[in-house]
Structure 1
Amino acid sequence: MTLSPTDNQKWIRRYHPAQDAPVRLVCLPHAGGAASYFFPVSKALSPAVDVLAVQYPGRQDRRADPCIENLSELADLTTEALLPWTDRPLALFGHSMGATLAYEVTLRLEERGIKPTALFVSGRRAPSRHRDETVHLRDDAGLIEELRVLSGTDTQMLDDREVLEMVLPALRADYRAIETHRARPGLRVGCPLHALTGDNDPKATVDEVQDWEHHTTAPFAITVLPGGHFYLNDHSREIVGLISDGIASDGFTSGGTTTPAR
C-alpha cells in the first residue's frame, strides 16, 4: 500500500521543523491519544532533533477518517507514512499502545532495509507478556472508568458529554486494536531498545516491561520512574533527557540498567 502525498500529510505532524537536525524522532501516542500529546517533546528537542508525531485516524483534525481497529493494519499504514521521512536516521518513541505500535513499525522498517537508530517503549509490557483484556467490550461508562483509573485524561473533560462523544469512538477502536493484537513470535528488532515505565503502572509491571530485553538483538536498557500508567506526565524533563542521550550515544549500555523508583 502506498500513500499519496496528501494522505501522508494526514499522518505526520511536525510541530517544530528542524531542517538541520541529524536525526528524526517518531512519536506514537497511547490509545485514545493524539499527535498533539507530543507537542512539548517536539519543542524541548528542537532544533537538535526533528520530531515527527503520528496522528492516527478518527481524532482531532482526522475525526472524519474511519478509526482503525487492527494494530497490524495501523502499523502497515504508519510505516508507509514514514517512508518519505527516512532520508535521515529515525528513532521511535511510543507510549502504551504506541509502544507496541513502535515495535511493529520498527520491524516493518527493518524488513525494508531501514534500520532505526533506537526504539523507546514506554508504559507497555513486552509483546511476549500477553494479558487477556476486554476493555474495548465495555459500554461507554466502562471506558470512562478506565480513563479515570489510569488518570491519563483531565477529569473535568470526563464530565463533558460533548467532548466524550468526540473521543470515545477513537478510544474504543484503539483498545480493540491493542487488546486483540498478537505479536508475531520469535521476531526481534535489530536496534538498541530502551524500555521506560512507572513503578505503579496497573497496565504493565516492571517484570513485564523487563522482558522487552528479549525482543531486540542489540543493547537493552530499562528505566523505572515513580508513578502510574501516565508517569511520564510528571517526568517529562527526565524522559526528554533520556531520549536525547540515547539518540546522541547511538545505543545503550549492553545489559541495561534500572533506575530505581524514588
Structure 2
Amino acid sequence: MRLVCFPHAGGAASAFLPLSRALGGHLDVLAVQYPGRQDRRREEPYHSIAAHADALSEVMEPLTEGPYALFGHSMGAVLAHETARRLVTAGRPEPRRVFLSGRGAPSPLPGAHDRLGSDTEILAAVGALGGTGRAVLDDPELLAMVMPALRADYGALGTYHWGGGSPLSCPLTVLVGDADPVVGVAEAAAWRGHTTGGFDLRVLSGGHFYLDDRTDDVRDIITTSLLVAGSPA
C-alpha cells in the first residue's frame, strides 16, 4: 500500500525521511515536494490552498489505482483532506485512511495562528513551534531560501476557510501533541465531523513537531491502522 505524505508549512519532502525509514518494509512511502523549496525552489509556490489541492489531486489520480492512504502534518493535513475530497469528487477511489496530524479541524474562518501579516510574525510563529525548522532561522542564507515558501504557505493558510461539503466516508486518524501550542485536543477531535467512517484520535507526548521524537509510535499507529485493523493492503 502507498502512503503519500504532505509536509507542513515551509516544509519539504525530506521532513518525512525518518518516518519513511521507519515504515520501510511495511508501506511504499511517498512524500509530496511542494514547489518553491529544495529541488523545486525555482518554481513559484502556490498562494492558495484551493489551487494547491487542485494541482495535488491531479497528480495523485494515477496513484489511486491501487490501495493508498494519506498522511498530512499541519498545513499538510489541510492539503491531504482537501486533496482527498477532490479525488472523491472526480470519481476516484477514496484513501483507505487519512492521517491528519498537528492540525485542528477546518472552520468557516481562518485560524488565528494562520493570520500572519509580516515576515516578523511568520518567523516568530515558526520559532515558537520548534521542530527541525528551528536551525534554519539561525542561518541567514538558509532563511533567505525558505522565506518565499513560508510567505506563500502562511498566506495560503491565512485565507483558507471551510466552505462546507460532504464528509469523507473513509476512516480518519487524527494525531496531536499534548503540548502543541497551536492545536488543542478538542480542536483535533473536531475532525470527527468530517467523516462518516471510523475515527481515531491519538494524543502523543510532545509539541507541534512531536513527530520528530515519536517516529516509532507514529509508525506503529500507521501500520496497525492500515495493515492490521481491517485495512489489508
TM (norm. structure 1) is 0.83
- Give the CA deviation at 1:190: 1.1
Partner of 2:3: 25
The C-alpha deviation readout for 1:80-111, integer Å capped at 9, x for no partner, is 11112222111000000000111111111112
Cα 1:157/1:202, change in 2 over 3 Å: same
Structure 1 distance, partners of 2:141, 2:36, is: 16
Q: Which amino acid aligns with 1:40?
A: P
Counterpart pick for 2:226 among 247, 250, 254: 247
Structure 1 distance, partners of 2:98, 2:72, is: 8
Partner of 1:104: 82
SS of residue matched to 2:45: coil
Higher relative contact order (CA 8 A, sep 6+): 2
Partner of 2:36: 58
Structure 1 distance, partners of 2:133, 2:52, is: 26
Q: How does 1:11-90 map to 2 (within 5 A)?
A: 23-90=1-68
Partner of 1:256: none
Q: How does 1:210-229 map to 2 (within 5 A)?
A: 210-229=189-208
Partner of 2:181: 202
- Give the CA deviation at 1:141: 3.0
Answer whether contact 2:69 2:97 (CA < 8 A) is retained. yes
- Give the CA deviation at 1:113: 3.0
Unaligned runs of 5+ in 1: 1-22, 252-262
- Give the CA deviation at 1:187: 2.5
Deviates more, 1:242-251 or 1:51-60: 242-251
The alignment-based identity, stated in percent, is: 46
Cα 1:172/1:82, change in 2 over 3 Å: same
Partner of 1:150: 129
Structure 2 distance, partners of 1:123, 1:200, is: 11
Give 4+ residue runs of structure 1 displaced > 6 Å after superposition: none
The size of the alignment, in residue pairs, is 228
- Give the CA deviation at 1:129: 7.2
SS of residue matched to 2:105: coil
Structure 2 distance, partners of 1:25, 1:218, is: 19
- Give the CA deviation at 1:135: 4.5
Deviates more, 1:104-113 or 1:234-243: 104-113
Cα 1:250/1:168, change in 2 over 3 Å: farther
Answer whether contact 1:45 1:240 (CA < 8 A) is retained. yes
SS of residue matched to 1:86: helix
Structure 1 distance, partners of 2:177, 2:108, is: 17
SS of residue matched to 2:5: strand
Partner of 2:96: 117
Q: Which amino acid aligns with 2:97?
A: A
Q: Which amino acid aligns with 1:152?
A: G
TM (norm. structure 2) is 0.92
Answer whether contact 1:125 1:208 (CA < 8 A) is retained. yes
Partner of 2:117: 137
The C-alpha deviation readout for 1:23-80, integer Å capped at 9, x for no partner, is 1001000000000111122222123211110000000000111010100110011111
Structure 2 distance, partners of 1:156, 1:221, is: 33
Answer whether contact 1:135 1:143 (CA < 8 A) is retained. no
SS of residue matched to 2:65: coil
The C-alpha deviation readout for 1:194-233, integer Å capped at 9, x for no partner, is 1000112122110011111110000101000111111111
Answer whether contact 2:64 2:92 (CA < 8 A) is retained. no
Structure 2 distance, partners of 1:30, 1:180, is: 16
Aligned CA RMSD, in angstroms, stands at: 1.5
